Amino acid sequence: MTTLAEKWTEALAATTPSPAPTWLRELRDKAGMQFRAGGLPHRKVEAWKYTPLRVLEGFELAPPVPAQSPAPARTAGRAMDVPAPLCERAAVIDICDGATVDLPVNLPEGVRVMPLAEGLERFEERLRPLFEAVELGGATRAFTALNTALAQQGLVVHVARARNAGPDAGRLLLRWYFSPGAAAAMHHFRVFLLLDDGARLDLVEQFMYAWGSERGGTGSTAAGLNLLCQAELGAGAVLEHTRVQAESEQAVLLTSTTLEQAADSRYTYRGFDLGASLARHELTTRLRGRGAVADIAGAWVLDGQRHADNHVCVEHLAPGCRSEQFFRGVLGGRSRGVFNGRALIRPGADGSSVRQSNANLLLSPLAEMDTKPELEIYADEVEASHGATVGQLDEAAVFYLRSRGLGAAAARRMLTSAFCRTVTDRVKGRGLAERIAELMDAAMPEAEL
């Protein structure tokens, strides 16, 4: 990866950043220097030990898109064929090749969405600490440093407490995709979510192949996205976050989500990895206020040579907080999955409750799963449990279904689907849950064991 890092360093030095406040220009310069010093992660970097980056060797470093330049609405003389939205009754924002296509007008009550440049003008006092809190040093944080050095396209979502807020928050859909025939390049984007005290937001992220009905079909694009999302949840705020990734077999997605949670706030995450050549998601939330809750669940269904990596870290920093990490995986072909789930209970976070669970099914002798649950406790009166398993289907269960008239393939498929439904059943909204379940069933590999 040394040659690629050198090439990207040269490209980084040749970029011309957009105008920004003095502190942000200095931060960009610092991030660029950190990347040049640390380079890209390799196998000797513990956090990237199981996720090689060879797939990026043909990628260029995409220059930053000017802040006021939207993504093209048309390509090759025809309208952009974007994927259908996963959910109904949602305000949709399309982001193509790392640039915003347009902003919605039918936003839920209390929600404002603005480009990053405008957000910096309106919310500089809240955004500056978030910018400066991001770790930039070393190869481990290489893509965060690149994002900070290059991000000019971005969104700021501000959510105030709605006057008529009920149990169902307004829904916002971020629809990410790449244009066809684009050069293999790594694009960069930044999202900030600012939820005031008592605010509620239902956020859905959709990463799906835009050109053609089948993932990885003719015309699929070898493109990459380096996305950094930072959220600030005020006291009593609620963020429902659903992320569905079903990109083409040539796409690379490197995403990071970081949250700061105040007292009695609640973060619910449901993530699904069904596609892409390489997908890595880092999720970190810090429970800073008493009674904060983080409910984190996800699943991956991999086939071929796909690679999915999920790194989760929950820090308990205040008393009486609760967190759960619940992940399921199904792997076939020569695919590989990586899961690292960490729960850290800091001194003073007495009365915390932590649960971790990761179970995986291998449907092929060539599939591989690397799972590592971590639990660190430095407080008293804590409830904690964790576990991880990697195995094959229960042959007794297969035999039972076959005795009821199902064929061997149908029995195995039913069991693997039910295995993943434990996550889709946790998705808020029946329509969205059923749509995700359909995508998972379509991506399910055939059992070879």
How does pLDDT run across 47-61, given as a tens digit for each residue? 999 999 999 998 999
pTM given for the model: 0.92
Backbone torsions φ then ψ of 48, nearest 5 degrees: -115, 15
Q: What is the pLDDT of residue 24?
A: 94
Q: Could you give the CA distance from residue 206 to residue 430 in angstroms, rounded to a whole number?
A: 17
Backbone torsions φ then ψ of 380, nearest 5 degrees: -105, 165
Sign of CA dihedral 119, 124, 127, 132: positive
Give the mean pLDDT of 313-342. 96
Q: How far is CA 8 from CA 3, 136, 143, in A?
A: 9, 16, 11
Report the range of poorest mean pLDDT among 44-53, 67-76, 125-134, 145-154.
67-76
Q: Could you give the CA distance from residue 362 to residue 419 in angstroms, rounded to a whole number?
A: 12
Q: What is the pLDDT of residue 64?
A: 74
> Which has the closest alpha carbon to 413: 301, 336, 305?
301
User: 186 is written with which tokens?
Assistant: 């790594």
For residue range 381-433, list pLDDT tens digits in order: 999 998 889 888 777 776 667 777 777 777 777 788 888 899 999 999 889 99
Specify burial of residue 30 (Cβ count, 10 A radius: 0-12, 13-18, 19+). middle
Length of the chain: 449
Q: Is the pLDDT assigned to residue 330 strictly greater than 70?
A: yes
How many of the other CB atoms lie within 10 Å of CB of 420? Answer: 23
How many of the other CB atoms lie within 10 Å of CB of 381? Answer: 9
Backbone torsions φ then ψ of 317, nearest 5 degrees: -115, -5
Compare 209 and 360 and report the one with higher pLDDT. 360
